[in-house]
Amino acid sequence: MSSGLLDRHLGFVEALRGAGLSVSLAEDLDAVAALGTVGWGDRDQVRAVLAATMVKKQAQRTTFDTLFDVYYPAMVGEGVEGRSDEADEAPATSRDNAAALEAFRQQLTEALEAGDEQQLRRMAAEMVARFGAMPGRGPGMSSWSAYTALQRVAPQDLVDKVVSGLLAEGDLDAADVRRTVDRRVGAFTGMVENDARRRIAEEKGPDHVADVTVRPSIDRLAFMAARRSDLDEMRREIYPLARRLATRLTKEHHAKRRGPLDFRRTVRASVATGGVPLSTYHRPKRAHRSDLVVLCDVSGSVANFASFTLLFMFALREVFQSMRAFTFIDHVHEVTGHFRPGADPVDVLTDLAAATSHAALWGRTDYGRAFTKFEESFADALGPRTTLLILGDARSNYTDLSEDVLKRLAGSVRRSFWLNPEHERNWGTGDSAAPTYGQVVPMVECRNLTQLSDFVHDLAL
């Protein structure tokens, strides 16, 4: 007789594959064999075992954890522990009303002060059940919303209260306490979201949730779809990504460009083998490096994309001979000065945002005007060894496109590319001038960090 465990496992593996993790059959077998040696007794252990055998990239770990919680939830329904005291005084998880909300917030404040994780987990479950329920008409129709629950209870607003409560207890550093409380509230919010996902999974089956709620990992997340917290995470990712790419590039340069024979080293090495030169050595060839000029649209919708790309390019400055950066909305402004060597990425982004005001006269994106201005003021930046890079969504508010100016600009440089953060299927819709500009300058889709680093890799090689 089947216990359903195998089906659940297969469903889980299927969901992992669906979310972009390449789990091979061999790894699947490993996972089952591994579980055979440690057993199913401890949930955290099972998680560790499955992660060790099936997740081979740290970037995919978040996806894995989300799916694991959906397929192997920590508790079912209201949870076993949750029933003890609350259930007695308030059956049917007590209807939701203003007084109940107030009482719950009070309770939550105390729990946050104590920082008891077990208690907080229980409260997260209760919170979703009481304040996030969206009852449906029939079985399998009801749902839960973490968003509604969080809006109503608003744990973020409790931070001040908890901080002052903790400060009253003893002499502690206020900033330290605030950080701790912030972290606890953040963790609690995560618990609530997880719990809502778990409940929906119970109601509608895990496969449904796996399809709907799992977000792509950060390096595949589109720039234009990123939330605030995602942007922070992306910014943290840029420097390591650039460093990885730089290492890879140097390595490939070494492997590809074998220079003339290094006679001295070859002869010296041949001494060890009685004068027979068994292996030859070559001088490294000097890598060919080009000047880079980046011209980027920094209007609202694409500002993040532009600043990330700039930051990334400048983190890779050693790969290029020299680099100049210009930003525009309807007017061109040079921002090269903000990228000092070794500067702090957070500071640079702040400076860049502040400099945006110089790039706009009227504040409506106008590519045609920007190109004309660029040709008037900074034509000397372009030369026969230059690579010109234009960043933007090519949405020019139906203004004059001046593609002849762009043609002249592209004609005066060695190579030119246009990076567009929009999905290729949206090019040419609405006010997008992507097809027109795409005929002048080769246009490349660049929606996430992976595509960006791939592009830069090919550019620098």
Partner 1 sequence: MTWFESPADVATRLQAAGYLADAATATTAFLAGALEKPLLLEGPAGVGKTELAKAVSRATGADLVRLQCYEGLDEARALYEWNYKKQLLRIQATNADDLDWTRTHDEIFTEEFLLTRPLLTAIRRDEPTVLLIDEVDKTDVEVEGLLLEVLSDFQVTIPELGTVAAVRRPYVVLTSNASRELSEAVKRRCLYLHLDYPDAAREREILLSQVPDLDDRIAEQLVATVGRLRDLELKKAPSIAESVDWARTLLALEIRDLDEKAVADTLGVVLKHASDHERAVRELKLAKS
10 Å Cβ neighbour count for 130?
21
Residue with smaller CB distance to partner 1, 83 or 340: 340
Residue with smaller CB distance to partner 1, 247 or 280: 247
Residue with smaller CB distance to partner 1, 44 or 169: 44
Residue with smaller CB distance to partner 1, 152 or 235: 235
Residue 329 identity (one-letter amino acid): I
Hunting for tokens 């201005």 — which residue is that? 373
**CA separation for the pair 224, 227 (Å, rounded):** 9
**CA separation for the pair 56, 51 (Å, rounded):** 8
Residue with smaller CB distance to partner 1, 92 or 272: 272
Name the minimum Å distance from CB 449 to partner 1. 14
Q: Which of 337, 161, 306 is nearest to 231 (CA)?
A: 306
Name the minimum Å distance from CB 48 to partner 1. 4
Binding site for partner 1 (CB under 8 A): 22, 24, 26-27, 30, 33-34, 37-38, 44-45, 47-49, 51-53, 55-58, 61, 176, 179, 235-236, 239, 243-244, 247-248, 251, 254-255, 272-274, 278, 342-346
Residue with smaller CB distance to partner 1, 59 or 355: 59
Name the minimum Å distance from CB 188 to partner 1. 17
Write out the two tokens for 248.
Answer: 């890879």
**CA separation for the pair 275, 68 (Å, rounded):** 62
Q: Taking the CA atoms of 211, 216, 220 and 226 in sequence, report the sign of the dihedral they define.
A: positive
291 close to 385: Cβ distance less than 8 angstroms? yes
234-259: burial string, b at 16+ Cβ within 10 Å, e else: bbebbeebbeebbeebeeebeeeeee
Burial tier of 9 (Cβ tally within 10 Å: 0-12, 13-18, 19+): middle
Name the minimum Å distance from CB 46 to partner 1. 9
Residue with smaller CB distance to partner 1, 236 or 364: 236
426-450: burial string, b at 16+ Cβ within 10 Å, e else: ebeeeebbbeebbebbebbbbbbbb
Name the minimum Å distance from CB 47 to partner 1. 8
367 close to 409: Cβ distance less than 8 angstroms? no
CA 295, 300, 305 angle in degrees (round to 5)? 55
Residue with smaller CB distance to partner 1, 4 or 341: 341
Name the minimum Å distance from CB 286 to partner 1. 18
Name the minimum Å distance from CB 18 to partner 1. 18
192 close to 128: Cβ distance less than 8 angstroms? yes
Residue with smaller CB distance to partner 1, 253 or 385: 253
**CA separation for the pair 336, 263 (Å, rounded):** 43
Name the minimum Å distance from CB 25 to partner 1. 10
CA 360, 365, 367 angle in degrees (round to 5)? 105
Name the minimum Å distance from CB 376 to partner 1. 36
Name the minimum Å distance from CB 85 to partner 1. 29
Residue 332 identity (one-letter amino acid): V
Residues in the chain: 461
Residue with smaller CB distance to partner 1, 54 or 124: 54
Residue with smaller CB distance to partner 1, 351 or 375: 351
Write out the two tokens for 386.
Answer: 């230059």
270 close to 264: Cβ distance less than 8 angstroms? no
Name the minimum Å distance from CB 186 to partner 1. 12
